[in-house]
Amino acid sequence: LLALLLCVVLVVLSTLIHYEMLRGLSAWLARVTWPARTRVIGVILGAFMAHAGEILLYALAIHFIAGSFGLGGLGSAETYNFTTALYFSAETFTSLGYGDVVPNGSLRLLAGVEALNGLLLIGWSASFTYLVMERLWKDPVGGERRARR
Query: Could you tell me the end-to-end alpha-carbon distance of the chain, in angstroms, rounded to an integer?
Result: 51
Residue 29 near residue 147, CB atoms below 8 Å: yes
Q: Which pLDDT value is given to residue 129?
A: 97
Residue 138 near residue 31, CB atoms below 8 Å: no
Closest C-alpha among 55, 63, 43 to residue 17: 55
Confidence of residue 143 (pLDDT cuts 50, 70, 90): low
As separate numbers, helices (DSSP H) first and strands (DSSP E) second, the chain gives 5, 2
Q: Is the pLDDT of residue 69 over 90?
A: no
- What is this structure's pTM? 0.87
Q: Is the pLDDT of residue 139 over 80?
A: no
Q: Is the pLDDT of residue 25 over 70?
A: yes
Average pLDDT, the chain: 89
